[in-house]
Amino acid sequence: PISPGELLCLGSSLAFSGLFYYLYRRKARVVARIQEAPKLQVDDNLPALVSAAEGRCLPYVALEGIVLPAQAALTSHYHEGLQGVIQKLLLKEHRLIWNSLARSW
């Protein structure tokens, strides 16, 4: 005989397993799309390619080329000789709304 506690544990275990498998498969599809992304060179033809694309947007492309840092290149603490740059820093500020019930923003 199986107790109700054991059934509850078994059911929750199966539910969590199903949820995590669903999340894993969804992320695996995204990774596969990124790995299959076309590789484009940063050159004079790139603006024409972007403007010709649907919605003027290229989803999942890998850009290859030489970039120059605006000030100083970032150096890796873990790999000698490895440098990188930050292309764009995006700051998104969410609008705050006063909640009079909780008396907080």
Model confidence, pTM: 0.47
103: left (phi over 0), alpha (psi -120 to 50) or beta: left
- What does the buried/exposed string (b/e) look like for 60-73 if buried means 16 or more CB atoms within 10 Å of the residue's CB? ebeeeeeeeeeeee
Look up residue 4 and give its two tokens. 């109700």
pLDDT tops 70 at residue 34: yes
Q: Residues 24, 27, 28, CA angle at the centre, nearest 5°?
A: 80
Report residue 52 as tokens. Answer: 């010709």
pLDDT over 90 (residue 104): no
The pLDDT-based confidence of 91 (bands split at 50, 70, 90) is: low
For residue 4, pLDDT beyond 80: yes
How far apart are the C-alpha atoms of 46 and 44, rounded to whole Å? 6
